Structure 1
């Protein structure tokens, strides 16, 4: 059902729009050429002064002392509420007038509706996320589910304020103004307060979070130590060369932490597990039932070894499972209910689904956009997936988000694993300063089904998801990927696409060791670049040396690969796993058509397979044989499900006329590093060390890695797809 805003508001907006059109004309593509508005230098401050329906918000700006800011040069976006929206806010908060609002809160309200770049609604994706002057998310959803009285789709900000269609995209000298129907009020609470205010639909999960003390663990927000030691590093680095272009890198302003919770509402527990839960039970009985469900999920020998339950505590001589698997030890991380809930908490903040999964450059005819990320349950991972393909009857929704889903394939004995469907709570705040939560329609577990079936596949892992700090500090997926490289990418003013490129001081990322002469550099996503998802992490320096953890996967043997784009000015790096060098150094300077790789390619970007495209020159049989030659040399072609280029502004969209499939380009490939034996209850590490001479500077790029179970890609294995 589509939601509609008040007809009275819409009528008022139309009348107001008519007055503005008469008295203060603005740009309209439908007007005759001689009717175009001749711009006279109106600033945002002038806009508020000249238009009476913003007199209330104008007074808020004045009391905040921010009118000079709105009169200054720049390229900003302002979302001012109309007077009726301010009146509603005053009634909700119990203020008699704007004069009763504390000046400091007035300042907060102004900063909450101000974005430091120009945004026009016709350039927004269905779910678009920006940061306001409070460094808090501004999430704009334009999905057709909410319409005005005329049936026109509305853009809704933070699920509170709708941009008034008749008044939007009003250009001023220092940006653009989008009037809204309500005051944008930021949620500045920390996680426990957010859940306390909104848990009426998930009382069981909320009580379990309290009893396990996991609710108390959601308080981490900003690293105040970083506010001091960041000053040891300059704010910008100039002309950092990565790929074919130079970039300016910004030092991160802050070092935030955050969490995302996947919560199972009470209603779902009653419906999915009627033999365990019902509304008439006491809360103690419900928590006991949840505890018993947790025991069922993790009561196996492999789980015991993964999570260290079989280890002996020296003082007592008992295993941790013997000590803590009871209903009186809920606060122990070895307790099954504590483990169960920890797996429902991610170690990063996803304030909207716009940042949940990087959907750019994935050809959804062959694969669904997928991320593998860590949880608060150590040694575990979770699969986030946006399901586009409708060939799987187990999936009820097209283009919806699922967790731990797997389509039927040979790797899981053709058994469909539905996983859990993710939705955003309605009519409630679902994010604050450091916590966001979503609903799932089934419980999640790092159990045998997840480990042995969902994760028994080629896992392609974007390096941008490896470290929570990149998501928590708006470094990952910052800006508009459809904007090509431009002057802003080599400027301290920020890119024209929004956001910045970043360099990360040593110590900024957890569980990463970086030598002093190494620069960790992250370029913003650009869909025209041949990096998966458009973004890439460059390790720069004449003698770089970096060590970090491998992602969490179940115990077993895996083939480890690195995917990259070869360029003549790339580097040569020795790769170590757990401190042991693996084969010869990895040279990123030659392409897959080089004799050392042995690939058959039809030029740099041409189609390889003539059966798929008339311009191809090789048959499927020839390419299958060539794949064996490349594999014997330690390489794979790049995947077919990834492309670069773009057809349109929304993600993802593939067109054979404008996009290039990775599989067809000869400088895109995957290099096998080694076979890794992943041990239970152990963190494994990768080290990358430059082997160029100290006078040479070549960058080593970290785009994506693959971890593939050996029974898929090894001798006698099931075989691997090309996607």
Structure 2
């Protein structure tokens, strides 16, 4: 449970006994009698109807329907049904003010149906299986986990007066009217998320004039406008509702929903004008009445000198050329995926952390260790090169989030993994730059993503790349499949996917089934999953995975997390620079193996995986190192000590015994270049329709780590 930092005037609580627990049901286009709530408390519709200050939104909800279908229910009927809905209802004064702003009149009848639909859809969150939000559960800095009916995530911050502000502009006036099917909160301004895309929103901010101009001169503003894959949307072969699974289950059946949309988006890290002035000495921009910079002739050569020094190999003089320093500088500021501030990292089962009462809504107070992940940027050159960005949250203070933070840890075999020191930010490098959660009065929640002001100049220069290339790069597969994030599936629900849904998963054969699973959505279990989620491939699978870029040229060991299981299959793995030309690496990987060691006799049940638990070695560091080396000769490593199983029984490193061992599989060692793209191919080695293949996290490990002068740490 999150600490409630508000001292809001609570809504008058309805004096009814608690009714029966509602069934979990999402919005459907038709409401029948069996769906109406049996209750002692009122429904949300009854709460709204009984409040005279909500008569306008009441009328709008009665008119607006859940979809364009003639059979679709009104939203008023939807909010009478069982479910878990959070409603931020605008007061009559709020609706009148919004109406006057867009029509010039307070006469609400002047609103078009589309305008009323925007008001209605924007204020309702269908929480699905999760509980509706009371104010104590509002995010303090970030977004709600579930989208509103417009498929937009609403943000929430707490202002200096301890008032919750929804989506940057809508203060919560009265909170926590409880209904049988959710919570009603009154807001004093209509919630209307911006229709501008990320580039447009950056350009409209009064403190981002320089970066907005850079978007314009590089032409990147045009490539950042995409919001939805219309080819997917209009695919006549897309199954209407269901996908049949051969091995994966949702509850008691094997039917899975297929996404109806494929939203695309971006997240930007942006220097304010004052940061450019402070760090690089750039002249502050002057603007005319239209917000255009009038002294760009003075500013441009100053910026040009700085970016050319950072990217000396970017030699084109045309800013629109991907091989120009201007273009490369701006492109490194954008990653793919619509990333709310509280979704950059996913807290679940990192060392000593407890997610609380609900793994799908992990607590946000008692953090324990640094948590991080890696993302790749949009293309930074005509050769398709991309940049790598590390995003890290610290457990102390206000739990700040940093870009490219490089730290030393108490990482011995008996260590705590507490941060000992970190490389500070210095002007001229892109290391250890703090992200700000919002941009003050400027909206940062765009129609296709978010932007965040940063406190330093973000560069992918040689110093930054060497720093990133000096440490083990462990990334969750979810962060290189940005569609999962843009469509709000990560850590929310089980989901199946059509072929071609992910840019980074390609060449799927007809027999390949693709699923995303998250612990807690379908019950808890003894999961050995990094961050509590995974991809599961099944059937006669055969597909290609595009890897993120390495930051510097060198020799890297490529590893994958391996939660083995008798239900898995056997896989042949290939590696190469082209998705159409990969070569097998190593012997087929059998994911069905178990491991057991008899301490009394010193014998293994499976000599292919000679795992001995640290405890059975009496925590003798020399013996532990020796067994780790022995495992490596067989192509395995113990799982990292950094994360625990989802039941908190012990570190994943300690769980290599039995029929469900947690290990790392060493795939290959390869020379890799920073400006090239690399691929892994995974192909079932068994002619079985019910074979499972588990993918969770990967590691790209430079030679100075896996073969350095000191042994690699166990974390």
TM range (shorter): 0.7 to 0.9
**2:701 corresponds to 1:708:** yes
User: Counterparts of 2:677 and 2:272 in 1: how far apart (Å)?
Assistant: 33
Q: Specify the alignment match of 1:420 in structure 2.
A: 433
Q: Specify the alignment match of 2:569 in structure 1.
A: 571
Rate the CA distance shift 1:25–1:410 in 2: closer, same or farther, 3 A: closer
Rate the CA distance shift 1:644–1:181 in 2: closer, same or farther, 3 A: farther
Q: Deviations over 1:388-446 (max 9, x none)?
A: 256xxxxxx651110111114799x9871532110021112102211311101112122
Q: Specify the alignment match of 1:476 in structure 2.
A: 490
Cα distance, 1:245 vs. partner? 7.9
Q: Specify the alignment match of 1:385 in structure 2.
A: 391
Q: Specify the alignment match of 2:330 in structure 1.
A: 341
Secondary structure class of the residue paired with 1:677: strand
User: Counterparts of 1:475 and 1:84 in 2: how far apart (Å)?
Assistant: 36
User: Counterparts of 1:237 and 1:382 in 2: how far apart (Å)?
Assistant: 35
Cα distance, 1:469 vs. partner? 1.5
Rate the CA distance shift 1:193–1:712 in 2: closer, same or farther, 3 A: closer
The counterpart of 2:665, out of the listed 663, 671, 678, is: 671
Rate the CA distance shift 1:85–1:232 in 2: closer, same or farther, 3 A: closer
User: Counterparts of 2:627 and 2:424 in 1: how far apart (Å)?
Assistant: 34
Secondary structure class of the residue paired with 1:179: strand
User: Counterparts of 1:708 and 1:687 in 2: how far apart (Å)?
Assistant: 19
Secondary structure class of the residue paired with 1:676: strand
Q: Deviations over 1:338-377 (max 9, x none)?
A: 1110101112221x21222223222278852111111122
Rate the CA distance shift 1:408–1:73 in 2: closer, same or farther, 3 A: closer
Q: Deviations over 1:635-666 (max 9, x none)?
A: 111111112337xxxxxxxxxxx443111111
The counterpart of 1:89, out of the listed 98, 101, 112, is: 98
Cα distance, 1:158 vs. partner? 1.6
Contact 2:405–2:422 under 8 Å retained in 1: no
Contact 1:577–1:687 under 8 Å retained in 2: yes
Q: Deviations over 1:248-304 (max 9, x none)?
A: 532111112111111100101111123x545689322212211211111111xxxx4
Contact 2:266–2:448 under 8 Å retained in 1: yes
Q: Specify the alignment match of 1:551 in structure 2.
A: 548
Q: Specify the alignment match of 2:607 in structure 1.
A: 595
Q: Specify the alignment match of 1:535 in structure 2.
A: 533
User: Counterparts of 1:292 and 1:260 in 2: how far apart (Å)?
Assistant: 26
Report the TM-score when normalising by structure 2: 0.79
The counterpart of 1:210, out of the listed 216, 223, 233, is: 216
Cα distance, 1:447 vs. partner? 1.4
Cα distance, 1:154 vs. partner? 4.3
User: Counterparts of 1:245 and 1:617 in 2: how far apart (Å)?
Assistant: 42
Cα distance, 1:383 vs. partner? 2.9
Cα distance, 1:179 vs. partner? 2.7
The counterpart of 1:433, out of the listed 436, 442, 447, is: 447
Q: Specify the alignment match of 1:633 in structure 2.
A: 634
Q: Give matches, 1:214-293, under 5 Å.
A: 214-229=220-235, 231-233=237-239, 235-238=241-244, 241-242=247-248, 248-274=255-281, 276-278=282-284, 282-293=295-306
Rate the CA distance shift 1:46–1:387 in 2: closer, same or farther, 3 A: closer
Secondary structure class of the residue paired with 1:60: helix
Q: Give matches, 1:388-537, under 5 Å.
A: 388=394, 399-408=399-408, 416-418=423-425, 419-423=432-436, 424-477=438-491, 479=492, 500-511=493-504, 512-526=506-520, 529-537=527-535
Q: Give RMSD over aligned pairs.
A: 3.1
Rate the CA distance shift 1:244–1:721 in 2: closer, same or farther, 3 A: farther
Q: Give matches, 1:104-123, under 5 Å.
A: 104-117=114-127, 118-121=131-134, 122-123=136-137
Contact 1:463–1:703 under 8 Å retained in 2: yes
User: Counterparts of 2:237 and 2:171 in 1: how far apart (Å)?
Assistant: 40
Q: Deviations over 1:320-344 (max 9, x none)?
A: x3xx2x2xx1111111111110101
Report the TM-score when normalising by structure 1: 0.78
Contact 1:233–1:505 under 8 Å retained in 2: no
Q: Specify the alignment match of 2:602 in structure 1.
A: none
Q: Specify the alignment match of 1:137 in structure 2.
A: 153
Q: Specify the alignment match of 1:60 in structure 2.
A: 60
Rate the CA distance shift 1:507–1:28 in 2: closer, same or farther, 3 A: closer
Q: Specify the alignment match of 2:375 in structure 1.
A: 373
- Count how many residue pairs are aligned between Structure 1 and Structure 2: 613
Q: Specify the alignment match of 1:662 in structure 2.
A: 652
Rate the CA distance shift 1:293–1:234 in 2: closer, same or farther, 3 A: same
Contact 1:592–1:668 under 8 Å retained in 2: no
**2:114 corresponds to 1:99:** no
Contact 1:240–1:249 under 8 Å retained in 2: no
Contact 1:386–1:399 under 8 Å retained in 2: no
Cα distance, 1:630 vs. partner? 1.0
Ranges in structure 2 where 5+ consecutive residues have no aligned partner: 20-37, 66-73, 287-293, 354-366, 412-419, 426-431, 577-581, 597-605
The counterpart of 1:361, out of the listed 330, 349, 352, is: 349
The counterpart of 2:178, out of the listed 165, 170, 176, is: 170
User: Counterparts of 2:405 and 2:271 in 1: how far apart (Å)?
Assistant: 16
Secondary structure class of the residue paired with 2:58: helix
Contact 2:555–2:702 under 8 Å retained in 1: yes
User: Counterparts of 1:71 and 1:82 in 2: how far apart (Å)?
Assistant: 20
The counterpart of 1:296, out of the listed 304, 309, 319, is: 309
Cα distance, 1:230 vs. partner? 6.2
User: Counterparts of 1:250 and 1:124 in 2: how far apart (Å)?
Assistant: 28
Cα distance, 1:108 vs. partner? 1.4
User: Counterparts of 1:91 and 1:228 in 2: how far apart (Å)?
Assistant: 37
**2:651 corresponds to 1:697:** no
Contact 1:523–1:536 under 8 Å retained in 2: yes
Cα distance, 1:195 vs. partner? 2.7
Rate the CA distance shift 1:687–1:164 in 2: closer, same or farther, 3 A: same
User: Counterparts of 1:240 and 1:357 in 2: how far apart (Å)?
Assistant: 32
Q: Deviations over 1:648-699 (max 9, x none)?
A: xxxxxxxxxx44311111111101111021135321110001111x245221
Q: Specify the alignment match of 2:682 in structure 1.
A: 688
Which structure carries more helix by proportion? 1
Contact 1:431–1:437 under 8 Å retained in 2: yes
Contact 2:17–2:41 under 8 Å retained in 1: no
Cα distance, 1:28 vs. partner? 8.9
Q: Specify the alignment match of 1:35 in structure 2.
A: none
Contact 2:96–2:106 under 8 Å retained in 1: no
Contact 1:161–1:181 under 8 Å retained in 2: yes
